Amino acid sequence: RINAGGRIGRADLGARLLSTDDPAEAQQLAQELDALNLSRRDVERAVTDAAVRKVEASGAHVDDTPVIVVAGEDWHPGVVGIVAGRLRERWRKPVIVVGLDPVTGVGKGSGRSQPGMNLGRAVQAAWEAGLLLAGGGHAMAAGLTVEGGRLAELTAFLAERLSGEREDAVAMDVLEIDALIDPAAARRDLFDSFERLAPFGPANPEPVFALAGVQAREAVQMSGGHVRCRLVGPDGASVRAVAWRCADLPIGRALLSGQGGLNVVGRLKADDWNGRRGVQFEIEDVADPRRI
């Protein structure tokens, strides 16, 4: 909610909320940020849906294109980075999302990359080559300003720059599993034991667990494309689970079908509600070993 102020509202709202000593002002600011966050979700969802339609119409999401650049008029610059991240997760390749000003024809964009593909370096090279009005970033993220008429030229340039990194990036795109567990073991005591290793981050990644041969029961699609279910093992033991923004992807379809014999990978998360201290399994990936 604090971030929403800077994305689609006023960037000072969060700082004012955190620094005020006036409870009434804090309440008013919190309500304003909450409303902005709801608006941000709607804007983000609309831009994501429009971008997905454009990319899927081009086929760039399923071919060997090393980078996707997608643009649309009036896409809010405050959400293009979030959308790029969502699409990068969806298609497992670098994505740049550009919001074009219909009056000036100038676009402001943000990109997110895959490990092994240095998007910031490629964008910097595009700026040095005169393709951008502004641009820069680091390996995993970049921002740019570009004339709308040069988007095709920019896409071709970035594709050429990143083509040599694609093969290594695909090989790196794996989930390292720390332990194979049964649903019966996915309990709060296991979660609490591993929480002693926190804080987690790039140098200390959060533990990843696998469940083998489970069935997704009571699977339902939630608002936002999330899927909730129970993962049930061969012995009948189960754990509550959720997979984010995947209902229209193979992961979501596998869960919603209710089929058994699935191998599921994810992380244990706290699930505390109404005095109950539990856990849920946050799904990262699903595989049917019979199709491998």
Query: Cα 284–287–292 angle (5° rounding)?
Result: 145
| Surface-to-core class of residue 20, CB atoms within 10 Å of its CB (0-12 exposed, 13-18 middle, 19+ buried) | middle
Q: Do domains 45-172 and 179-291 have the same CATH topology?
A: no
pLDDT in tens, 38-65: 999 899 999 999 999 999 999 888 888 9
What is the mean predicted confidence (pLDDT) over 171-183?
91
Q: Are 291 and 257 in contact (CB under 8 A)?
A: no
- Predicted local confidence at residue 138, as pLDDT: 95
- Predicted local confidence at residue 289, as pLDDT: 85
Give the pLDDT band (50/70/90) at residue 292: low
Query: Does the 179-291 domain belong in CATH 2.40.50.460?
Result: yes
Characterize 239-252 residue by residue with b for buried, 16 or more Cβ atoms within 10 angstroms of its Cβ, and e for exposed. bbbbbbbbbebebb
Q: Are 204 and 233 in contact (CB under 8 A)?
A: no
Give the pair of three-digit tokens for residue 51: 């971008």
Query: Does the 45-172 domain belong in CATH 1.20.140.10?
Result: no
- Predicted local confidence at residue 172, as pLDDT: 85
What is the mean predicted confidence (pLDDT) over 143-156?
97
pLDDT in tens, 214-237: 999 999 999 888 999 999 999 999
Give the pLDDT band (50/70/90) at residue 179: very high
pLDDT in tens, 89-117: 899 999 999 999 999 999 999 999 999 99
Give the pLDDT band (50/70/90) at residue 33: very high
* Residue showing tokens 């240095």: 118
Give the pLDDT band (50/70/90) at residue 241: very high
For the chain, the domains span 45-172, 179-291
Residue 290 scores a pLDDT above 80: no
Q: Greater confidence, 141 or 174?
A: 141
Query: Cα 70–74–79 angle (5° rounding)?
Result: 70
Measured between alpha carbons, how far apart are the two ends of the chain, in Å?
42
Q: What's the rounded Cα separation, in Å, for the pair 283 and 274?
A: 24
